[in-house]
Amino acid sequence: MKRPLSSLLIVAEDSPESFSPAGERVRHLALAGGSKFSKVMVLALQRGERERKREGNEGKVSLYSVSYSRVVPFPFSVLFDPLKALMLLVHATVLYGRIKPSHVLASMPPFETGLSAWVLATIRRVTLIVDLRDDWESAAYVQLKRYFPKAFVRVLSIIAQKIYSSAFVNLAVTQTIADTVQGRSAQARILLVPNGADTEVFCPLGQSIRKRIRQENGLPLDKIVVIYCGSGTNPYYRLNDTLASIKILSEKTREKIFFVFYLYNGIENLRGLQHKLGIPSSQLEIRNPLPRNKLAQILSSCDVGLVPFDAKPYLLCARSTKLYEYLSSGLYVVCSGPKGGELDVLFSSNDELGMFVLPSVENFAKASSYISEHHEKSLSKESRDLRHSFIRENYDRKNTMKKALDTLFANAF
């Protein structure tokens, strides 16, 4: 007798409709789940909306958004927000009664999503899956060590280890995260599911189309356009140093390069820093975020993408979604991070993809100068196509998620 298809509940902080990389990963997990489960429901938090909840549907995939504004102040919000955990658990329980999921997937961080999903899965005796996007435990310790004793963070880590160990499988976005979790919780089962890009959406365009898109969006036609898209407030991005590097560029380099930032938060703070540094709008524009399909067009019209990570040890595991979307769009990438980390390894073995530097004002400025002087080959059509092919063959998001779900089901059933 054929077993009936089951349903999946995904518990996340970032909505699939948000502009964040975390929300984009949740969206693709949900869509991939729709090919395996009879129904997929995503529970996510939505900030700034008046209504208590909002639901949406995309075939078998549904979104249940709950309005929530953080009330716990920093640094307690980084350690643990009990109200957030309780809200997620209550609404997850309500949704459980509606769709009777056989599997619950927690998108972590934050810790609260994993805790609420774990409690629900334990009480209802359903299968738990954890999607780990970064080494949030190390990041929390770095942020909180000046405020709390190490024992406080250790308590969260012990609970997290129980969550990982009780999960049917933990999806890790990089091998470094997989190794780190395995070292902390020997019983945790790990499946590597890297970030990637939708290569059908993020792809290179012809020169005439790129020119038209630049004209329509107020981007210069006669300059190398360097783009950053993402958060303007995350402490691990060295955006302050990036802006400071623009200030010290030579006149010759400034004449050749234009910077544009599309931010989904922290816009006013960055504009304030731009004004303080005296960087004119002819060199840098800081803009509002764009929907993914519109952003894909803009990316393809640009030349260089920025991923300015800090060099702290907890970022050894970091490979952001924007990295793959930049490359899939054909962009040359300038990135920074800790020496020996995931980004260093990727670009050291694939220098045609871009350039890795240690984060500093001087290094970012040197990278800009180098690009302005040696851009002919790295920004050519052949180089753009090569980067897109690299992502399509190795990090196509749809194929990656499909393979992950195939593996999951092969083991689960």
Q: What are the boundaries of each domain within the chain?
A: 7-196+396-412, 207-394
Indicate the pTM of the whole model.
Answer: 0.83
The predicted-structure confidence for 148-180, as pLDDT tens digits, reads as follows 777 777 888 889 899 999 999 999 988 888 888
Beta strand spans in 70-219 (E): 103-108, 127-132, 169-172, 190-192
DSSP H helices in 251-374: 251-254, 267-277, 292-301, 321-328, 342-349, 361-373
Identical topology for domains 7-196+396-412 and 207-394: yes
CATH, domain 207-394, list 3.50.50.60, 3.30.590.20, 3.20.20.100, 3.40.50.2000: 3.40.50.2000
Digit-coded pLDDT (tens) for 82-139:
888 999 999 999 999 999 999 999 999 899 999 999 999 999 999 999 999 888 787 7
Angle, CA 326 vertex, CA 325 and CA 332 arms, to 5°: 155
Cα separation of 210 and 12, whole Å?
36
Contact 108, 133 (CB under 8 A): yes
Write the pLDDT tens digit of every residue in 23-69. 888 988 998 888 888 899 999 987 654 334 444 445 688 899 888 77
Tell me the CATH number of domain 7-196+396-412, given options 2.40.50.100, 3.40.50.2000, 3.90.1150.10, 3.40.50.300. Answer: 3.40.50.2000
**pLDDT confidence of residue 1:** 35
Q: Which of 24-33, 74-83, 224-233 has the lowest mean pLDDT?
A: 74-83
Q: What is the DSSP letter of 251?
A: H
- The 10s digit of each residue's pLDDT in 291-344 is 878 899 999 999 999 999 999 988 998 888 889 999 999 999 999 999 999 999
